[in-house]
Structure 1
Amino acid sequence: MTDHPYSSLTPDRILDAIDALGFECDGRLTALNSYENRVFQVGIEDSQPLIAKFYRPDRWSEAQILEEHHFCAELADAEFPLVTPMTQQNGDSLHRDGAFYFTLFPRFGGHAPELDNLDTIELLGRSLGRLHITGQKQHFEHRPSIDIQSYGEDSRIFLLDHQMIPASLRDAYATLTRDILDKVKDAFAACNYTPIRLHGDCHPGNILWRDERAVFVDFDDCRMGPAVQDLWMLMSGDRQDQTVQLEALLEGYEMFCDFDDAELMLIEPLRALRMMHYAAWVARRWKDPAFPKAFSWFNTERYWAEHILALREQYATLHEAPLRRISGNM
């Protein structure tokens, strides 16, 4: 047995933990596509399967997870479309089995939204406007923020200190990321935004499209941050494409929530931070056997050369004028 966090999370242990909550498992257990946590579809006798999410030990505290659950419940009360944690008769949504916190969800099917359809993008904008009007009502007390230190500085230090980067590329990475973070700091200093509660990881894979509506899932990374964080990952293509998509997003968004166009200057800095954070996230999890299997290309010189090239391109983008909506409402 290895010492990675999930080495003791056997099928029998998973089924026993769910049985202990009063469910009668039928023995069917299917691992779903998740790496940070472990997520399973669990068969239930004479009923629909459930989804069981076992949180990675020592990542979030109990208070931080409960804050996620409370945010989801608050959104559900506002009739926002999302898949919420199931609660027991005593009101508990978070359960514990040894070192593992876990939560159950109803199974909900769907597919990623088609982002080449502007009507779909406008609908997603309306959804995010509804999410953020609730997110503005209070602050997280326990969950962290999206910031330069945790996403950028800490990621850079970890990768350089743990020698994940080939020796031939370390100096290039160190110099380039230092320069990128200088530009990112300038942008954040120039934008006096008001942090709100966010989904935090609002990419298309965390949105299920069904019956002509978008249902949001996986609030595991909900944090405080600028509203634009939940918008920019739904835009893609060249500058012209993104400008058209931004217009559609904001047209829907502002039906429910005001948007400060000054935050548009943070799109590319946030993208740069996510690129750095993603590489460090994989590196931090490398001792978990699931990661070398899923990201076999990561620990290679080719990957790091391509990553540095992508960061160079992003550094150039940071010098360009921020994206603006077509109407020029700045």
Structure 2
Amino acid sequence: MRKFLLLCCTLFLLSACSVSEKYQKIPSNETVDEKKPEKVEQKAPVTKDKKISVAMIGDVLLHEQLLHYKDYSPSFAAVEDDLQSYDFLLANQESMPVGKAFGLSGYPKFASPDYIVRDLKEAGVDFLTVANNHTLDHGEKGVLAALKNIESYGLPYVGAYKSAKDQQKMRIVDVKGIKIGILAYTYGTNGNETPPGKEYLVNRIDLNVIQKDIKEIRPNCDVVIVNMHWGIEYQSKPNAKQKQMAKAISNAGADIIFGNHPHVLQPYENIVANDGRKTHVFYSLGNFFAAQQDKLTYVGGIASLEVVKDAAGTIQVDSPRLIPTAIIEKNGVYFVEHLKDVEKQAVRSVDWVKDTVGLDE
């Protein structure tokens, strides 16, 4: 009997040990040996600065010798790589592209073929300014026809408008995340008056209006460009009025001023506004493509700047540059060339351009 009891006690103890081992193997949050997952530190994504190039070419003015080209692309081929290299390129289309319906004509009342817009766009132009002394050469009908043609080729415009509503629409272009606002004005329209009540057809220079326009567009964009059709023809230095207006436009909030109308190059200037900002002024870019009698107008330039927007939204406009260009006639056909490549044929040298503008290529 005692042996039997001893046997039963032994079996019971062995069973208890087995159950105890079983339950000890169940995972527990309190198990000392358990490895907890390591915390992975999430790094904020690195925000890179945004950087673009902004540029403008001078007057596109189709005189009689240039009216009947079927395609202007060959005329721009030599500088096309430069034109297409910029992120945003403006051009002053001075002779209105009204088309054949108005009868093509040169000076003094220009009527240019509409496809000059097509070929400028293909060459790299992104935006046209059309506030100049020839805007009203063919009156209201001419403005409306020209703007319709410009729109048909998919280019935006500034300085002349179809209606008051069109004029009130801010011209702001987003270029790779940097918003550029564009304004344009002309000193006059060669005595061609604006029809009463239709002042929207062309923007005229009025400092009060310009300052108001800059104040309105400034909060909506990163960079403000103002195109001014001003100055005295064939003068290679800005006059006192240009200087005065440039200072006022700078203080109003403009970052860049591109000038046209003199048909020759004028200096670059860096103006410091009252609030400490820099305003880059190219007083005149000369002619890009034209055929005036005065051969001194056959030299112009491509002006450019770099715009940088950092992660904090701070904007810096810098690195002003001008590439000199020359209009060269070959067997009755006119071409835009790099001045350095045709210096022996041109009326001005690269050194003259450097001395006049104050910038190296």
- TM above 0.5: no
Q: Which one has more relative contact order, counting CA pairs under 8 Å at least 6 apart?
A: 1
Higher share of residues assigned helix: 1
Normalised to the residue count of structure 2, the TM-score between the two structures is: 0.29
Normalised to the residue count of structure 1, the TM-score between the two structures is: 0.31
Higher share of residues assigned strand: 2
